[in-house]
Amino acid sequence: MLTNPSQALIRNSELFQQHKVLILNYEADTFASQCLDWASHVKALAFDFNHHQTLSPYANDKLDCYFGHQLPDTLAAEKFDSVIIYFPKAKPLMGYLLQLAAQHLGINGLLVIVGENKGGIKSITKLTPSYYSTPIKQDNARHCLLYTCYLTHIAPALLLSDWVSQYALETPQGQLQICNLVGVFSEKRLDQGTELLLSHLPENLQGRVLDFGCGAGVISAALLKANPTLNMECIDINAMALASCQLTLAANNMQAKVYPSDGFKQISGQFNGIISNPPFHDGLTSTTDIATQFVKHSADSLATGGIWQIVANRHLPYSDTIAAHFGNVNVTAENNKYKLYFHQH
């Protein structure tokens, strides 16, 4: 099934007839593969690892699939006839995507922007930098809008440092430098859930520890500040989060293994600790399925004697799920919004 924005693109496929096309921030479908019915060659860059996993089985000599916050360094200078951007759920990311697109267009190269009516795309003319022509609405279909414009001037080089905010964060473990790229959730103070988690960290944590849904790396950095000998592994599904986490670790002179994983699918082996403020929402909807899968796979991935500790919204019904997979559950701390769940294998 194609998403609505992808269906809107197919309605306008004459725009990229015989073009060499770059698709940025695509969704969980196979539009990039179907685009080859019109385009001569397609490269697709996913910012969501699940979306990358959806498309990558369709890769062939005319379709290349990548995951990350930019194309590999070897392709940094590659130019395309047209670039398609799917308007992001996190609106601040759009500025970054527009500048990234400009790195891969020649003068008069075509930019196509598509997004859901309710997703913020109506503000595209305000968001588009002056090195593009003014975006013009080409279509309104499938509850989506589709705009086109052209690169009129060479854009400034894309530097990740221009898109990151760095700030000092006070935690129970001490002050940390946090680096946050556009499009990654962050407040300049500890959110209540993470504060509850960090205020009650287990004393005897050691060995291989997983931070599931690491975001900008706040929990991993706090754990390493408390115990620099931990072998931290930080996973997330979001390319900008993973890049933020790497920048945060570097800013605090810390090291960890940072990599994408769709749930637990890219993880191997057993962990001595799983510590997380897990992301229990998919896009804009909260889903208990993500939580159930997380608890089940946590139980399978925890070594004997291993420690599992997560913080979760009070109203989410975890106790039964945790009891089913771990056998027992302890709520070791709580506040008016969150509960801290603890289990030792």
What token pair was written down for 48?
A: 């969501």
pLDDT digits (tens, 9 = 90+) for 125-134: 999 999 999 9
Do 202 and 54 lie in one domain? The reply is: no
* Cα-trace Rg, the chain: 22
Average pLDDT of the residues in 258-279 = 94
Do 244 and 194 lie in one domain? The reply is: yes
Do 269 and 331 lie in one domain? The reply is: yes
Confidence of residue 82 (pLDDT cuts 50, 70, 90): very high
**Which of 159, 219, 160, 230 has its CA nearest to residue 195?**
219
Give the end of a domain, one of 158, 193, 214. 158
Do 129 and 197 lie in one domain? The reply is: no
- If one counts the domains in the chain, the total is 2
Give the end of a domain, one of 98, 126, 158. 158
Give the domain range for residue 269: 161-344
Confidence of residue 288 (pLDDT cuts 50, 70, 90): low
pLDDT digits (tens, 9 = 90+) for 100-120: 999 999 999 999 999 999 999
Do 185 and 318 lie in one domain? The reply is: yes
Rounded CA-CA distance 339/330 in Å is: 10
Give the end of a domain, one of 120, 136, 158. 158
Are 232 and 206 spatial neighbours (Cβ–Cβ below 8 Å)?
Answer: no
Do 64 and 126 lie in one domain? The reply is: yes
Rounded CA-CA distance 50/251 in Å is: 28
Are 197 and 277 spatial neighbours (Cβ–Cβ below 8 Å)?
Answer: yes
Q: How many CA atoms lie within 13 A of 44 on its CB side?
A: 33
Do 146 and 252 lie in one domain? The reply is: no
Are 333 and 342 spatial neighbours (Cβ–Cβ below 8 Å)?
Answer: no
The CATH number of whichever domain residue 62 belongs to comes to 3.40.50.150
* Range from 24-33, 43-52, 282-291, 295-304 carrying the lowest mean pLDDT: 282-291
Average pLDDT of the residues in 287-307 = 87
pLDDT digits (tens, 9 = 90+) for 174-213: 999 999 999 997 777 888 999 999 999 998 899 999 999 9
DSSP string, 18-67: T-EEEEES--SS-HHHHGGGT-SEEEEEESBHHHHHHHGGG-BTTEEEEE
Question: What pLDDT shows up at residue 284?
Answer: 43
